[in-house]
Amino acid sequence: MVVHNILERYKGIIEESRLKNQDSFEEIDKLQHNIRDHINKLDKQLHDNKRDFMLAIRLVECFRILEWIKICLYCGSYHAVYKELRYLIDSMIQAYYIDTNLPSASLKTKFEAFKLFEKAKRFDFIGQNLINKLENIPHQDKLREIYKELSNYVHPSYKQSLDFMEKASEKEPWDRMKENLYNEELLKKCVLKSKEVIKCFLDIDKKFEHYFLEYNRS
């Protein structure tokens, strides 16, 4: 009954999103295809050791997150997409930091290191601070830019509140504030940011591939 009520509530915006922006959802599908293609092209040594790489885990996690992003876009939950994308950036840069500093360690050891960093509340192990610390990471400037922009929407900032506040004007019925409303501009922006984040992720993973192969040759 609860699920039925949820589906009924969102039925209108789901249909509107599908009819007006099907191409955007196909773009998300293409991102999943790009990830599969990237994984298939990785060196055999990466595949043989994948269960010890945090980046490999985060890369596979992208499939689940991109599926959830599609659901959010269909339902008009655009700000939820920004939260997922910022999580992806945090998870990828943390994984890159640990994998490059402990390339031959087991996954268990890496998770222990992860736990220690988190327990110590290291502020240089998350967000902009970690991006700045990783001097050789691909797209460092772009990552800073995207992370800052996503943060503006994740937190209750002016940008995050603007669209919602505009809906509270006299032109919109007050009850409409209870519902997610279709917004083509925000939907397309979410798709663009998704493409930018995944592009960064794949290039970061490619950089780690080169690093790991060089490490094994030395």
Question: What would the pLDDT profile of 154-195 be if each residue is shown by its tens digit?
Answer: 766 555 556 655 655 555 555 555 678 899 999 999 999 999
Q: What is the pLDDT of residues 3-41, one digit of tens each?
A: 667 777 888 999 999 999 999 999 999 999 999 999 999
Mean per-residue pLDDT, 132-160: 85
What is the distance of C-alpha 8 from the center of its chain?
28
Q: What is the pLDDT of residue 121?
A: 67
Band the pLDDT of 199: cuts 50, 70, 90.
Answer: very high
Domain residue ranges of the chain, discontinuous segments joined by +: 2-217
Which whole number is the average pLDDT over 31-54?
96
pLDDT at 31: 98
Are 35 and 62 in contact by the 8 Å Cβ rule? The answer is yes
Amino acid 151 reads S
Q: Is the pTM of this model over 0.95?
A: no
Structure tokens, 156 = 């209750």
Mean of the per-residue pLDDT values of the chain: 89
The per-residue b/e assignment along 53-87, b for 16 or more CB within 10 angstroms, e otherwise, is bbbbbbbeebeebbeebbebbbbbbbbbbbebbbe
| Residue labelled with tokens 């890496």 | 110
pLDDT (average), residues 62-86: 96
pLDDT attached to residue 71: 96
Alpha-carbon span 149 to 124, nearest angstrom: 19
* CA 143/CA 149 separation, integer angstroms: 10
- For the chain, give the percent of residues with pLDDT over 90: 72
Tokens found for residue 148: 């800052």
Identify the DSSP state of 20.
H
Q: What is the pLDDT of residues 78-129, one digit of tens each?
A: 999 999 999 999 999 999 999 999 999 999 999 999 988 877 766 678 889 9
Asked if residue 84 lies in contact with residue 96, where contact means CB atoms within 8 angstroms, the answer is no
The angle subtended at Cα 100 by Cα 91 and Cα 47, nearest 5°, is: 80
